[in-house]
């Protein structure tokens, strides 16, 4: 009987495997376990097989396997894709090189523009043209493709991207090119822009098609190897791949347009947060993940994960980067993690990050020769991390080196070592706070309506302080916090996002055409799933409309129930739009409203057992393993009980100050905060109820 | 100001406040961008936001383009000069746009200014300046090189209260509305400006509440001092000397500059230049000062923040009534072409001295292109305000960058053809790299663009004024000059006319505007460009085989 479900997340250093067994008697998911093995860069599937070995999982017993991988983003950033050619509309072959003409590093007159992934001699034009309504102005003659394909063959091109102007509204010409090339040159990898995106902006769509084609053969080969490795071990369950949109999809679908998995790792953590929220009845969540070099956060509103279609790679203050128009969970990421270095600049200003000590030499406490103090070192200095139970007791922290490092840092500012360590924590918290504001307050959300769900190695160390700073009433530290991303994949349904730009004035006379577009998009999604053998009852949808005041550029999203927009309902949606707009920008206008894009998300349910609850009996005193002095900054240095998380039970409750230790992470609870352990072992930290307040 | 004991304020708190100030102006910037009604604001980023200390000194700015960083301080100063403290209240908003009197640029750039009060005292100011698509006057879009007095260029808003103690002055709003050819967009952008300042005010007050007004004021002063220190240190590292450059303009005027870099001053001497012109190619003293600030920042410390302290070592000398410091009521709607001319001249003077910071000349024209007419589907009148992207010069280590906005711009985005066609009802026939010759050298200038607009309805018009239309961007060390900025108007009957300046030229259905922007200047003798590189240029179509033979003797 196949009773095991597993998910694997391949990171730069470690490959995580999370798995559980479905109890034959009660049908509940029990005994969630995780193992970590080293990532095997040249042959990623080997690392995954090693993790199964380490976990002692027999693949013939595996019912469900979900997989997240950095293969696509790595191929892009390391420029390890294949030689790719572009076919585009006459007059537009330079679109990849012209891009948008922007120079973010704007005082710098030696700015360098990002180099296009496809050089000019491999970019070919063909005579064809649509207008913005989708009417054909110049019909395409596919015979014109012969010389282009000849030129590509001569140059050893292995992949072709096709993007025509206005194909988002009428993809006919792209479809003709695809079927023609498939017939006469079936071996070549081929990606047309409309297969990935039905949104306007020709540079972004062309670049997306180009990047997708560039990595397609690499990703396909990789996934096939993974399938073969699984097959060899007699795996016969379902195999899914984690996408950037916070859902999984079938391997065959991902192989065609693998750009959809470009940002799958961070997405699965956010998805896990949404899934956990559903389980414990928390619909409004700020998901917060602190890793070694960065912190990432994303907001979940009424159970819905926010998706962006303006994802960029290699973009920062110094470079315009490359746009990828594929749905990606909207995540704000900053260069502040456990390994971020505290330093003082030539003008006596202290900063934390974005430089990181990385995995090697790592924090000073590792004793691997690191001399620059990190956030993790500061947490050790303050007694928040236990020097004798550092990384689950794997190493003893080199506290003398840590102290020396902070003394040196402090000397630059006439601060004591302890003050310098507190400074590092304050600045790191400030940076994280700004990131959290960007996704909440700046977007019109009130943090008081949310719970902060913190995971990753460092999330639980900073969350309780950040919550106080932002007036967030509750912090949740999930069980398995350090492998939460992989856990998220186990909780996922199949998800496909369909987005279409089709601008129309949002008025009653267009109600029918709006309904028709929504139904057509649902129909398309339904047919695609059904073709793959998914039954209709398992398919469900979410609809969003992107709207704005006529004349504006930026849109505000409004949620729609069902696909039928009656005149009455349309008026209500107008009110909803004004409400959402006002919430974000503090005013509304009487101007006409324009609907720009339709977003339909199609889910297919994956059969999933419920989670088993943890034991509800125990004595809280048994969980206290130690009492030690911990520095709580302005609240003072306090004698603090240290709890062993593994001994906590459902319903257990205790007050701060407290430290909760487990092998992968440490949770800090401030004075006047209260902890409650829920039925699944998650920690809920809230402000202590006080009468005199 | 009350100087409090700095020993009591720990350096960590100061750092946190200063980084929060950056977050304030960033938030103002984002709010403006998301709420604006016109693409000249949300894509072209022709706007800036800033916060000031209570003396009206620039403390932090949010801007996508460097040209807007130094533009707001004169506006705040003009409010402080005109209004006594006793009549400046919480809830007031001031509005001004006259370039000679604190507005800096041209009438289209309207400045909104908000005093910030905490516990009854004014702790600072916020300001917002954005290009409004039409402020009335004799010409659509309120821009024309042919204007001779400011009265022809639109509505003047002479530093007045548009809001007093939280109440809108509807009379002023009505006047603004009736004077614009695009009243809906104009008022939308006005409200967007207010929304952005209110977002900033909330955060500003949040900081005061959290840290106290004294600590906040100390942190702001410290931030301005820090910026000055960074600039002075950078000045010490720059090569001391006297640097000179001259150019001839398209109007055959000789312009020249002498820059003296010493250990304690960056002195720009623009005396001896042509007098103010009888057209709109004049710039105010304040606008010319922005040029000086920008070039100083570019060579001193381009990758750090800027505030009032940054520009303290800078000094500008210029004759009264010169075209670079024109007096009221001279016309100024095309000031930006004059300003970029000055910027380019300063750049040229310094390029050989600091080649690591400055490449050869770029296309050096905003190439502001103003088109308008009825949308073919709806008949609704619309206007397009678009600067163009162009070629940048080669440097001593690499070829020039292709198709990038000017040094005056920054994180400015062009409008995608797909969006423009739907929004404006025109057709973008091509958008590609300029294949004209020019800019060859050991290292070649970057390519400008070739952009064709086809007009799809009758009764359209175009206004434009491009400089570097007769004299191409300068090369360095033997590199050739680049090509020219211009347009061709191709009438339906095939008749083609080249323009560098035109005002409200009539266009009809079927006419095509061909925009060409210059290729940047080259660096080094063309004979030194390696054969393999030239062959690769030919393969990529960056140069024709004939031209390669002509210039490089290869192919």
Using a CB-CB cut-off of 8 Å, the residues of chain A touching B233 are 346
Query: Is residue A110 situated within a structural domain?
Result: yes
Distance CA A468, CA A465 (A): 5
Residue A339 and residue A375 in contact, taking contact as beta carbons nearer than 8 Å: yes
Q: Look up the CATH number of the domain holding residue A586.
A: 3.30.1490
Distance CA B380, CA A618 (A): 74
Q: Identify the pLDDT of residue B555.
A: 67
Contact status of B369 with chain A (Cβ, < 8 Å):
no
Residue A290 and residue A462 in contact, taking contact as beta carbons nearer than 8 Å: yes
Query: Is residue A396 situated within a structural domain?
Result: no
Q: Look up the CATH number of the domain holding residue A190.
A: 3.40.1360
Q: Identify the pLDDT of residue B304.
A: 84
Assign B23 a pLDDT band (cuts: 50, 70, 90).
confident
Residue A396 has pLDDT above 90, yes or no: no
A677 and A583 within one domain: no
Distance CA B155, CA B147 (A): 14
| Average pLDDT of the segment spanning A615-636 | 93
Assign B217 a pLDDT band (cuts: 50, 70, 90).
very high
Residue A359 has pLDDT above 80, yes or no: no
CA distance A348 to chain B (A): 8
Strand segments, DSSP code E, in A78-237 are 84-89, 123-126, 129-130, 136-138, 159-163, 189-192
Distance CA B255, CA B143 (A): 24
Cα–Cα nearest to A309, from A332, A326, A297, A321 = A326
Contact status of B64 with chain A (Cβ, < 8 Å):
yes
Report the C-alpha dihedral over residues A166, A167, A172, A174, rounded to 10 degrees: 130
Query: Is residue A391 situated within a structural domain?
Result: no
Q: For residue A150, what are the domain limits?
A: 78-220
Assign A1 a pLDDT band (cuts: 50, 70, 90).
low
> What number of residues does chain A have?
693
Q: How far apart are the first and last CA of chain B?
A: 71
Q: Identify the pLDDT of residue B1.
A: 41
Contact status of B298 with chain A (Cβ, < 8 Å):
yes
A214 and A86 within one domain: yes
Cβ <8 Å between A584 and B184: no
A214 and A89 within one domain: yes
Query: Is residue A138 situated within a structural domain?
Result: yes
Distance CA A204, CA A325 (A): 6
Of the residues B7, B12, B71, the best mutation for testing chain A's interface (the one with the most A CB atoms within 10 Å of its CB) is B12
A165 and A100 within one domain: yes
Distance CA A352, CA A426 (A): 9
A121 and A144 within one domain: yes
Cβ <8 Å between A553 and B303: no
Contact status of B19 with chain A (Cβ, < 8 Å):
yes
Give pLDDT tens digits for A275-329.
899 999 999 999 999 988 889 999 999 998 888 888 999 988 889 999 999 999 9
Lowest mean pLDDT among A9-18, B222-231, B414-423: A9-18
Distance CA A275, CA A246 (A): 11
Number of domains chain A is built from: 4
Using a CB-CB cut-off of 8 Å, the residues of chain B touching A168 are 418
Of the residues B14, B15, B114, B340, the best mutation for testing chain A's interface (the one with the most A CB atoms within 10 Å of its CB) is B15
Residue A482 has pLDDT above 90, yes or no: no
Mean pLDDT of chain A: 91
Q: A559, A580, A605 — which closes off a domain?
A: A605
Assign B303 a pLDDT band (cuts: 50, 70, 90).
confident
Of all helices (H) and strands (E), which one includes residue B255?
strand B254-261
Cβ <8 Å between B431 and A98: yes
Q: Identify the pLDDT of residue A9.
A: 87
Lowest mean pLDDT among A278-282, A553-557, A570-574, B245-249: A553-557
Task: Output the DSSP codes for A393-448.
Answer: TTB---HHHHHHHHHHHHHTTT--HHHHHHHHHHHHHHHHHHHHHHHTGGGT--GG
Contact status of B203 with chain A (Cβ, < 8 Å):
no
Report the percentage of chain A scoring pLDDT > 70.
99
Cβ <8 Å between B30 and A587: no
Residue B139 has pLDDT above 60, yes or no: yes
Residue B454 and residue B478 in contact, taking contact as beta carbons nearer than 8 Å: no
Residue B39 and residue B387 in contact, taking contact as beta carbons nearer than 8 Å: no
Contact status of B173 with chain A (Cβ, < 8 Å):
no
Give pLDDT tens digits for B312-354.
999 999 999 999 999 999 999 999 999 999 999 999 999 999 9
| Average pLDDT of the segment spanning A53-80 | 91
A661 and A568 within one domain: no
A237 and A215 within one domain: no
Q: Tell me the CA distances in angstroms from A372 to A350, A362, A382, A430, B16, one per residue in order.
A: 13, 9, 17, 20, 21
pTM for this model (two decimals): 0.91
What angle do helix axes B183-211 and B170-178 make, rounded to 10 degrees?
A: 140
ipTM of the complex: 0.94
Give the bridge partners for A594, in sequence order.
A505, A548
A206 and A87 within one domain: yes
Assign A676 a pLDDT band (cuts: 50, 70, 90).
very high
Of the residues A378, A413, A553, A557, the best mutation for testing chain B's interface (the one with the most B CB atoms within 10 Å of its CB) is A553
Q: From B12, which residue of chain A is nearest by alpha-carbon distance?
A: A423
| Average pLDDT of the segment spanning B522-546 | 96
Query: Is residue A274 situated within a structural domain?
Result: no
A169 and A92 within one domain: yes
Residue B274 has pLDDT above 50, yes or no: yes
Q: Which of A110, A553, A554 sits opposite B357 (nearest CB)?
A: A110
Cβ <8 Å between B15 and A120: no
Assign B8 a pLDDT band (cuts: 50, 70, 90).
low
Query: Is residue A306 situated within a structural domain?
Result: no
Q: Look up the CATH number of the domain holding residue A232.
A: 3.30.420.40
A162 and A104 within one domain: yes
Query: Is residue A531 situated within a structural domain?
Result: yes
Q: Which of B38, B294, B430 sits opposite A91 (nearest CB)?
A: B430
A675 and A543 within one domain: no
Cβ <8 Å between A109 and B10: no
Greater pLDDT, A582 or A178: A178
Contact status of B396 with chain A (Cβ, < 8 Å):
no
Give pLDDT tens digits for A413-471.
999 999 999 999 999 999 999 899 888 887 778 899 999 999 988 899 999 999 999 99
Q: A580, A605, A630 — which closes off a domain?
A: A605
Residue A585 has pLDDT above 80, yes or no: no
Q: A160, A186, A220 — which closes off a domain?
A: A220
Q: Which of A103, A109, A430 sits opposite B405 (nearest CB)?
A: A103
Query: Is residue A552 situated within a structural domain?
Result: yes
Distance CA A305, CA A298 (A): 8
A96 and A17 within one domain: no
Q: Identify the pLDDT of residue A690.
A: 60
Using a CB-CB cut-off of 8 Å, the residues of chain A touching B66 are 106-107
Residue B271 and residue B319 in contact, taking contact as beta carbons nearer than 8 Å: yes
Using a CB-CB cut-off of 8 Å, the residues of chain A touching B431 are 91-92, 94-95, 98
| Average pLDDT of the segment spanning A685-693 | 71
Residue B318 and residue B270 in contact, taking contact as beta carbons nearer than 8 Å: yes
Q: Identify the pLDDT of residue B2.
A: 43
């Amino acid at each position: 009987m196949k009773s095991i479900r597993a998910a694997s997340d391949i990171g730069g250093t470690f490959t995580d495997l999370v798995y559980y067994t479905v109890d034959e008697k009660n049908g509940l998911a029990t005994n969630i376990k995780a193992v970590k093995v080293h990532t095997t860069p040249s042959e990623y599937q080997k690392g995954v097989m090693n993790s199964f070995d380490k976990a002692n999982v027999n693949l013939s017993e595996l019912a469900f396997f979900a997989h997240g991988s950095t293969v696509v983003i790595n191929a892009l950033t390391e420029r390890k894709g294949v030689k790719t050619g572009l076919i585009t509309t006459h007059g537009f072959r330079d679109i990849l090189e012209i891009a948008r003409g922007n120079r973010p590093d704007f005082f710098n007159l030696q700015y360098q523009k990002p180099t296009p992934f496809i050089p000019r001699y491999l970019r070919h034009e063909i005579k064809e043209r649509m207008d913005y309504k989708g009417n054909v102005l110049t019909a395409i003659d596919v015979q014109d493709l012969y010389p282009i394909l000849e030129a590509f063959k001569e140059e050893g091109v292995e992949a072709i991207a096709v993007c025509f102007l206005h194909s988002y509204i009428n993809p006919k010409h792209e479809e003709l090119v695809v079927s023609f090339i498939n017939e006469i040159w079936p071996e070549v990898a081929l990606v047309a822009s409309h297969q990935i995106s039905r949104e306007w902006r020709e540079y972004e769509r062309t670049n997306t098609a180009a990047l997708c084609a560039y990595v397609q053969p690499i990703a396909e080969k990789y996934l096939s190897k993974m399938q073969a490795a699984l097959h060899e071990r007699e795996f016969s369950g379902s195999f899914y791949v984690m996408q950037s949109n916070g859902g999984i999809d079938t391997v065959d679908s991902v192989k065609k347009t693998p750009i959809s998995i470009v940002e799958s790792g961070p997405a699965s953590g956010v998805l896990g947060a949404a899934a956990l929220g559903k389980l414990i009845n928390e619909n409004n969540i700020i998901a917060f993940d602190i890793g070694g070099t960065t912190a990432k956060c994303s907001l979940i509103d009424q159970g819905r994960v926010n998706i962006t279609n303006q994802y960029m790679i290699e973009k920062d203050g110094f470079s315009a980067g490359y746009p990828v128009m594929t749905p990606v969970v909207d995540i704000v990421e900053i260069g502040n993690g456990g390994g971020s270095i505290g330093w003082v600049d030539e003008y006596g200003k202290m900063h934390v990050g974005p430089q990181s000590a990385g995995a090697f030499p790592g924090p000073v406490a590792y004793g691997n020769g690191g001399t620059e103090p990190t956030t993790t070192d500061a947490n050790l200095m303050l007694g928040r991390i236990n020097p004798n139970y550092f990384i689950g007791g794997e190493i003893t922290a080199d506290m003398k080196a840590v102290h020396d490092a902070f003394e040196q840092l402090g000397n630059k500012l006439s601060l004591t070592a302890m003050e310098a360590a507190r400074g590092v924590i304050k600045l790191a918290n400030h940076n994280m706070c700004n990131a959290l504001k960007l996704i909440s307050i700046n977007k019109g959300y009130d943090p008081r309506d949310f719970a902060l769900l913190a995971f990753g190695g460092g999330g639980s160390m900073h969350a309780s302080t950040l919550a106080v700073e932002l007036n967030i009433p509750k912090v949740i530290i999930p069980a398995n916090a350090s492998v939460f991303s992989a856990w998220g994949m186990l909780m996922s349904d199949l998800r496909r996002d369909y987005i279409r730009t089709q601008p129309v004035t949002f008025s009653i006379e267009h109600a029918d055409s709006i309904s028709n577009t929504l139904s057509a998009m649902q129909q398309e999604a339904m047919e695609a799933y059904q073709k793959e053998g998914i039954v209709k009852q398992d398919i469900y949808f979410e609809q969003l409309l992107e709207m704005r005041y006529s004349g504006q550029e930026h849109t505000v999203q409004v949620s729609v129930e069902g696909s039928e927009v009656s005149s009455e309902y349309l008026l209500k949606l107008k009110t909803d739009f004004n409400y959402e707009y006002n919430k974000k920008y503090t005013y509304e206008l009487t101007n006409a409203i324009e609907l720009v894009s339709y977003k339909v998300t199609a889910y297919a349910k994956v059969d999933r057992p419920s989670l088993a609850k943890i034991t509800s009996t125990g004595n809280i005193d048994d969980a206290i393993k130690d009492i030690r002095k911990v520095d709580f900054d302005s609240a003072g240095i306090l004698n603090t009980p240290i709890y062993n998380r593994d001994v906590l039970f459902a319903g257990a409750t205790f007050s701060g100050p407290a430290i909760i230790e487990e092998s992968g992470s440490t949770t800090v609870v401030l004075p006047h905060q209260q902890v409650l352990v829920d039925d699944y072992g998650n920690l809920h930290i809230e402000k202590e109820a006080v009468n005199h307040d | 100001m009350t100087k409090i004991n700095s020993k009591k304020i720990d350096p960590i708190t100061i750092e946190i406040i200063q980084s929060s100030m950056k977050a304030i102006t960033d938030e103002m910037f984002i709010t403006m961008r998301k709420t604006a009604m016109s693409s000249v604001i949300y894509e072209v980023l022709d706007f800036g936001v800033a916060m000031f200390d209570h003396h009206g000194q620039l403390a932090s700015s949010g801007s996508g383009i460097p040209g807007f960083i130094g533009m707001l301080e004169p506006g705040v100063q003009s409010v402080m000069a005109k209004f006594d403290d006793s009549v400046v209240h919480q809830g007031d908003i001031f509005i001004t746009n006259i370039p000679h009197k604190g507005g800096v640029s041209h009438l289209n750039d309207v400045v909104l200014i908000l005093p910030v009060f905490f516990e009854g005292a004014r702790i600072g100011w916020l300001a917002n300046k954005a290009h409004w698509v039409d402020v009335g006057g004799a010409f659509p879009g309120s821009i024309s090189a042919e204007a001779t007095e400011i009265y022809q260029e639109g509505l003047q808003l002479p530093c007045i209260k548009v809001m007093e103690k939280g109440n809108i002055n509807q009379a002023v709003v009505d006047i603004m509305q009736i004077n614009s050819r695009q009243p809906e967009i104009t008022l939308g952008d006005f409200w967007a400006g207010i929304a952005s300042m209110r977002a900033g005010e909330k955060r500003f007050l949040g900081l005061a509440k959290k840290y106290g007004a004294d600590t906040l004021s100390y942190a702001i002063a410290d931030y301005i001092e820090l910026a000055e220190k960074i600039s002075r240190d950078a000045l010490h590292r720059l090569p001391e000397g006297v640097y000179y450059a001259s150019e001839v303009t398209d109007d055959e005027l000789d312009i020249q500059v002498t820059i003296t870099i010493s250990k304690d001053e960056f002195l720009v001497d623009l005396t001896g230049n042509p007098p103010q012109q009888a057209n709109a190619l004049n710039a105010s003293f304040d606008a010319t000062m922005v040029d000086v600030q920008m070039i100083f920042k570019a060579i001193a410390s381009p990758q750090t923040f800027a505030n009032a302290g940054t520009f303290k070592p800078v000094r500008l000398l210029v004759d009264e009534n010169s075209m670079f410091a024109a007096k009221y009521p001279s016309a100024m709607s095309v000031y930006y072409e004059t300003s970029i001319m000055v910027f380019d001249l300063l750049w040229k003077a310094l390029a050989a001295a600091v080649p690591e910071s400055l490449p050869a000349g770029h296309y050096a024209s905003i190439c502001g292109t103003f088109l308008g007419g009825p949308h073919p589907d709806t008949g609704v009148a619309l206007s397009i305000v678009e600067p163009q992207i162009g070629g940048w010069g080669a440097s001593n280590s690499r070829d020039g960058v292709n198709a990038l906005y000017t040094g005056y711009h920054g994180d400015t985005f062009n409008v995608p053809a797909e969006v423009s066609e739907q929004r404006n009802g025109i057709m973008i026939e091509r958008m590609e790299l300029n294949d004209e010759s020019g800019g060859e050298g050991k290292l070649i200038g970057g390519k400008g663009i070739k952009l064709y607009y086809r007009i799809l309805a009758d009764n359209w018009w175009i206004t434009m004024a491009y400089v570097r239309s007769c004299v191409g961007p300068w090369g360095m060390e033997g590199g050739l000059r680049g090509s020219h900025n211009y347009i061709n108007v191709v009438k339906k009957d095939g008749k083609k006319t080249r323009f560098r300046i035109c005002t409200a030229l009539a266009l009809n259905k079927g006419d095509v505007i061909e925009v060409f922007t210059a290729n940047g200047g080259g660096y080094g003798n063309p004979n030194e460009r390696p054969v393999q590189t030239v062959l690769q240029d030919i393969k990529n179509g960056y140069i024709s085989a004939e031209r390669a033979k002509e210039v490089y003797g290869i192919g």
